[in-house]
Structure 1
Amino acid sequence: MDSHLKRLLKKYNLKIQFGPTHGDGCIVETPDGYPNLLVVKEGLLDEQMEKVILHELGHAENDDATEKNYKTDYATRLSCESGANSFVVHEQIKKYIDLGNDASNANWLSLAKYIGTDNYCLVQEELLKYCIN
């Protein structure tokens, strides 16, 4: 796991644990004083694991657990998932640029497919943040 992901886990007070889950990953709240657990399905490929971790970090960044009921309110679930997916796109584009790639020559469609999103406009918007005018 790269140091950027480790820093994000520390920032959101999350400890990673691998094990069986209903989906690819989730955050399990723990008693006060202990880091919450970011549970990742065991057996995922490294590339899949990174995307799952980023997605769950997006929930940690964007979701307000005290105001939202994710499981029973469809609109809340859509909002939470949108925020988590946006976080993944933001972080993956940032990583792409940090690797020395030129945003103005990027193939946004290929990047979107790699990231695993069909929100092409969001990928284009993120790339535009790095274009020099």
Structure 2
Amino acid sequence: MSLISDEMKSESEVYYGDEICQVKSQELLEEMCLPKGLLPLKNIIEVGHHRETGFVWLKQKNSITHKFEKIGKVTSYATEVTSYVEKVIFMLNPPTGKITFQTPAGLSRTFPVSAFEIEEKSSGVKEV
């Protein structure tokens, strides 16, 4: 059962197909100043963003499990991933290079941002 009503969908930016959905999910993460590797979803069939409320959804063909190698943590992503996003300004000076995840109950965990960044694929050409 989907959490997205037809009314909400009609008032949202909605995209279909893996190629455009990958681009839009990356743009959203970048817009929110989050690491681009935070949502390593595959075969995304739909991405939507209701800007007025901040509600975001991503639908993929199959649920996946992903291991963030740099921190040794495994995360599961269901076929439908939903969230409310809002831009909260909080800056540390100097920047710490860490990201903190917090549950509604107030529990939190902090990890290095680098653990969630997309590793650039090398072209096989080495500059000397």
TM range (shorter): under 0.3
TM-score (norm: length of structure 2)? 0.25
Higher helix proportion: 1
TM-score when normalising by structure 1: 0.24
Question: Which structure carries more strand by proportion?
Answer: 2
